[in-house]
Amino acid sequence: MAVLDDLSGFEFEDLMEDVFRNLGYENVRQAERTADEGRDVLMEEVVDGTRRAIVVECKHTGTVGRPVVQKLHSAIATFDFDGPKRGMVVTTGRFTSPAEEYADRLQRNDDPYPIELIDGEDLREIADEIGLDLYNGRIEILCDETLRPHDPATDVDAPVQEAFRDIENIEAADIPRPHAQVTFRPVVVITADTDAVFETSVGVIHRINDRTGFVVHAERGHPQVADETVATLVTENLHATVDLDVDQFGATFDDVEERRFGQTQTEYKEWAVDRLQDYHTTTVTYTGDNNVTYEKTCEPNRSDISVQSIEPVYLPEVRQTTDLEEYTYSYEYYAAGPSRVTEEDGIHRCVHCDTRGVDETYTYCPNCGAIACDSHSKTERLEGEPICTGCAVTERFALKTKYFYDEQNLEAFRKEYAAMPIHEKAMENKWLASGSVVATLLLIGLLVIGGII
């Protein structure tokens, strides 16, 4: 275990706390370092429905002898726990024969406080078992599980096809296959308990008994808590993960990228404890024995916060881009099989203004490929099809602006307009024509009233 040689004793305890948590032990925490009575890590397990405490001694040393095991046996006996108890000694080195014989004798004699010995070779096997790599004396998160990057029951571009169905004047057959890329982004799901009681001379003034779960984006840089929709996507689909097989997904996506976890298990644990310590800190107002009102800031101790689990998984971020004539439309989302959380929707967006969102109406312009809102979508006069204001050739007829695909269509309509009888020309601006009729009727009415006709 040469990679562990540079660790201090406390750092080795941090590492083992993470290892035990990954092995599934519950309520894993460290004993107070200022008053070490032979207990470094405390944790619990449930065997056949019975909860049992485990007292762990961590020794970052080359050889562990019998006195260490004996001392732990005494510490277990005095440890305050209402239920069965056992012990464990973990070392990066090896155990002497007397130490192994003492632990073996406890097992054979059905001692109420048996002790398990774990040496450096055992640690290697445990690290492999839980998918962790020991590097530079610390735990790097290794994960080969991911949420599904697409719904296996449909094509990978199904979300894009669904988005384009909201756009008027475009058919599925008109939409080319988008370029699809997936980035597997690491996240960790953290569960922690905070249990703290704050008392003064008047009694308990504040109590915290809370289990908190949150999802954290876990790439390089400072950890970032995922927003509620992304967190829900992860937690609701955590039971349905699949192996992250880059070759397999490479047959489905045009580009595949896998990011690494940016922090160690210990760093995520420390970050979570700091965050919860800040989150639960509050100021409480209470009345003292002398009927005077006081304020007290209640901040839980770090020992009041126990990280129960740090569960790594990959969250697929899919980006699909579709080329239509002069424009490229992107659609980006986090995926979990048929479920997804949209990050960027470049389809429900007018290319000419800031109008966006699925509640608006958009029309596709086959002339240039633009998706435009109602304000920027018109009807081409000659062919009667939609055209966006960005590419239209315009000219006024009967005091009204007409829109054309190109100069050829404009010229063709000029000739058509020139040959129209006057009443048809007037109808090229129905509001003007209607106004003329109304004005004529009014004039006739006035003439009749004046006796002129």
Q: Return per-residue pLDDT of the chain as tens, 453 residues.
A: 335 556 777 778 888 888 898 888 998 988 875 444 556 899 999 999 999 999 999 988 888 999 999 999 999 999 999 999 999 999 888 899 999 999 999 999 999 999 999 998 888 888 777 766 665 555 667 788 999 999 999 999 999 999 999 999 999 888 999 999 999 999 999 999 999 999 998 999 999 999 999 999 999 888 999 999 999 999 999 999 999 998 899 999 999 999 988 888 778 888 999 999 999 999 999 998 888 999 999 999 988 998 888 899 999 999 999 999 999 999 999 999 999 999 999 999 999 998 999 999 999 999 999 999 999 999 999 999 999 999 999 999 988 999 999 999 999 999 999 999 988 888 888 765 454 444 444 545 454 565 565
Instruction: Assess contact for 58 and 27: CB atoms under 8 A.
Output: no
Nearest C-alpha neighbor of 322 from the set 371, 385, 355, 358: 371
SS3 3: helix
pLDDT tens for 217-239 read 999 888 999 999 999 999 999 99
Could you give the CA distance from residue 391 to residue 93 in angstroms, rounded to a whole number? 75
Instruction: Assess contact for 258 and 184: CB atoms under 8 A.
Output: yes
pLDDT tens for 390-404 read 999 999 998 899 999
**Residues 144, 145, 148, CA angle at the centre, nearest 5°?**
135
Nearest C-alpha neighbor of 28 from the set 114, 107, 90: 90
Between the alpha carbon of residue 282 and those of residues 91, 203, 205, 267, the distances in Å are 41, 17, 12, 25
Note the helical H segments in 242-374: 246-250, 265-280
Instruction: Assess contact for 391 and 369: CB atoms under 8 A.
Output: no
pLDDT tens for 245-294 read 988 999 999 999 999 888 887 788 889 999 999 999 999 999 988 889 99
**Residues 221, 330, 231, CA angle at the centre, nearest 5°?**
45
Residues of the chain above pLDDT 70, percent: 89
Instruction: Assess contact for 39 and 79: CB atoms under 8 A.
Output: yes
